[in-house]
Amino acid sequence: MNGPVGEIAVPRVTEEAAQNSETERARILLVDDDERNLLALATVLEDLGEVVLAHSGEEALRHLLRGEFAVILLDVYMPGIDGYETAQIIRSREQTKGIPIVFLSAVNKETEHLMRGYSMGAVDYVFKPVDPIVLRSKATVFVDLFQKTKEVERKAAHEQALMDATIRANAERLRAEQELRRSEQRQAAIIQSLPMVLYLEPFDARDRGPTYVSGTFTRSLGSRSRKFRVSPRSGTIGCIRKIAMA
């Protein structure tokens, strides 16, 4: 054991762990086959988080495999996999099904198309040409929600880590105390088994008297009835000698 029993410290959160617990910057995925639209949208949203650009549904799905996103702004009509199909695939994956999807559309504002988008997993629509204020307000809601959710998860993980560390420290303390008791019991058994009397008293005590006596005088000295009394004149050794000679 290193150090006395009862001084086992609970591990502290390191400075590196504290830095890692800082609020991470939210990521926003923009998906549009028109480069000009992507650049315009990125300019509006760049101060809200890390903006990631995708020029197709396939590219968007690859980005989603590499990390989490606070929100996806997804153009409805694109060559290859369109926005509806992309949204359906995103919703079918366990890793990405909870990410909010906002559809971007320049046409088909009829209720039929809106309902189709919602059925595919969209949480909102933004129609082109995009109003920057409307776009920012919608994206801000999801970014704030993402950051608050992550903060709750970090706090829960931190509290769980502290709880686990406390449990480990208490278990180690209990093991140390049990080992100390076993060691003391072994030591006492050894001393009791020796053909000797171990007598302890303070060196500078005014009233001479034992603080610890091991074994019995009956077994060690063969005296069944005699009692001993230590006086300043005779001292401990003299007392034991007198008993031994009796």
Tell me the per-residue pLDDT of 9-57, one tens digit each, with 9 for 90 and over.
434 444 444 444 445 689 999 999 999 999 999 999 999 999 999 999 9
Distances (CA, A) of 76 to 10, 31, 56, 83, 135: 54, 9, 11, 4, 16
Q: How confident is the model at residue 7 (pLDDT cuts 50, 70, 90)?
A: very low
Q: So what's the pLDDT on residue 108?
A: 61
Is the pTM here over 0.75, yes or no?
no
Length of the chain: 246
Joined together, the tokens standing for residue 232 give 């300043």
Q: So what's the pLDDT on residue 63?
A: 94
Q: So what's the pLDDT on residue 152?
A: 82
Is residue 93 a part of any domain in this protein? yes
Distances (CA, A) of 86 to 56, 162, 195, 229, 242: 9, 41, 89, 97, 102
Q: So what's the pLDDT on residue 13?
A: 43
Q: So what's the pLDDT on residue 73?
A: 95
Q: Do 104 and 73 meet the contact criterion of CB atoms below 8 Å apart?
A: yes
Is residue 177 a part of any domain in this protein? no
CA dihedral 27, 28, 34, 39 (to 10 degrees): -70
The per-residue pLDDT for range 212-226, each reduced to its tens digit, is 666 555 555 554 444
Q: So what's the pLDDT on residue 166?
A: 83
Q: So what's the pLDDT on residue 238?
A: 45
Please identify, among 156, 188, 211, the residue that sits at the C-terminal boundary of a domain. 156
The strand pair at 212-213 and 199-200 is best described as: antiparallel
Nearest Cα residue to 57 out of 75, 44, 41, 69: 75
Please identify, among 103, 130, 156, the residue that sits at the C-terminal boundary of a domain. 156
At position 143, the amino acid (one-letter code) is: V
Whether residues 129 and 204 fall in one domain = no
Q: Do 208 and 237 meet the contact criterion of CB atoms below 8 Å apart?
A: no
User: How high does pLDDT run on average in the chain?
Assistant: 76
CATH number at residue 105: 3.40.50.2300
Domain that includes residue 203, residue range = 199-245
Q: How many domains does the chain have?
A: 2
Q: How confident is the model at residue 209 (pLDDT cuts 50, 70, 90)?
A: low
Q: Do 27 and 66 meet the contact criterion of CB atoms below 8 Å apart?
A: no
Mean pLDDT, residues 230-237 taken together: 47
Is residue 96 a part of any domain in this protein? yes
The per-residue pLDDT for range 122-172, each reduced to its tens digit, is 788 888 888 889 899 899 999 998 888 888 878 888 888 888 888 888 888
Whether residues 152 and 213 fall in one domain = no
Whether residues 117 and 235 fall in one domain = no
The per-residue pLDDT for range 65-104, each reduced to its tens digit, is 988 999 999 998 888 888 889 999 999 999 898 899 999 8
Joined together, the tokens standing for residue 63 give 């980005």
